[in-house]
Amino acid sequence: MWRLGRNLLRHQLHVRYAASGAASSPSLSIWRRRKEMGKEGLMVAKELKRLQCHPGRFDRFMKAHVSRLLKSDLVAVLAEFQRQNLVSLSMKLYDVVRKEIWYRPDMFFYRDMLMMLARNKKVDEARMVWNDLKGEEVHFDQHTFGDLVRAFLDNGLPDEAMWIYNEMRSSPDRPLSLPYRVILKGLISYPELREKVKDDFADLFPDMIVYDPPEDLFSDDGHSVTECEED
């Protein structure tokens, strides 16, 4: 009965935040603040790493200790696991966070998860996280879209990068040139895909020029030149 009431309250909070448009507000996001672990957070992080190869003991420890962490410690432990590219542990904590009563959908929470999964080439997990954020109606801004596409490109995942790019193209936000510049630079190794984005760029920003590699890829002193410049 208590669990049913807790789930109902969590659902009401999610609906309230979504209705107020606060789900992706940078000024309110706990995921952008400096993340410092307290003593209990440090102990839990160390023990989770030690027990991850012992499923039974790991699950018992999760139930007994992780749910008791302060919000700041839970956020900090997840951020540390992401920093260390500990995918399995990050996904475990990701699930825990989304069940907390204080949780609300947040662009930066999902951005950090997807960046970590891109670094580690975890396609299935990335698609699962993407489905979660779509279900929660989380909205990425144009710069975040550009950073995510570039992260997947830089880690050799062009199919996933273009899948996110297509989501970017369907966004209701006004297109910005800088995210497209970031993406075009990342697509130099993928000429066919680059031509598609280049065509989109020309349609969206007709007063800007896209310089093509290899002749314009580097300047005489060896430094890369700007991908797109105003005419």
Return the domain boundaries, the chain: 1-106, 140-231
CATH architecture of the domain with range 1-106: Alpha Horseshoe (1.25)
CATH topology agreement for domains 1-106 and 140-231 = yes
| Residue 16 in this model has a pLDDT that exceeds 50 | no
pLDDT of residue 197: 96
pLDDT of residue 28: 60
Q: Which CATH superfamily is domain 140-231 in?
A: Tetratricopeptide repeat domain (1.25.40.10)
- pLDDT tens profile 146-163: 999 999 999 999 999 999
pLDDT of residue 145: 98
pTM of the predicted structure, to 2 decimals: 0.79
- Please answer whether residues 160 and 123 qualify as being in contact, where contact means their C-beta atoms are separated by less than 8 angstroms: yes
pLDDT of residue 209: 86
pLDDT band at 205 (very low <50, low <70, confident <90, very high): very high
| Residue 20 in this model has a pLDDT that exceeds 60 | no
- Please answer whether residues 137 and 23 qualify as being in contact, where contact means their C-beta atoms are separated by less than 8 angstroms: yes
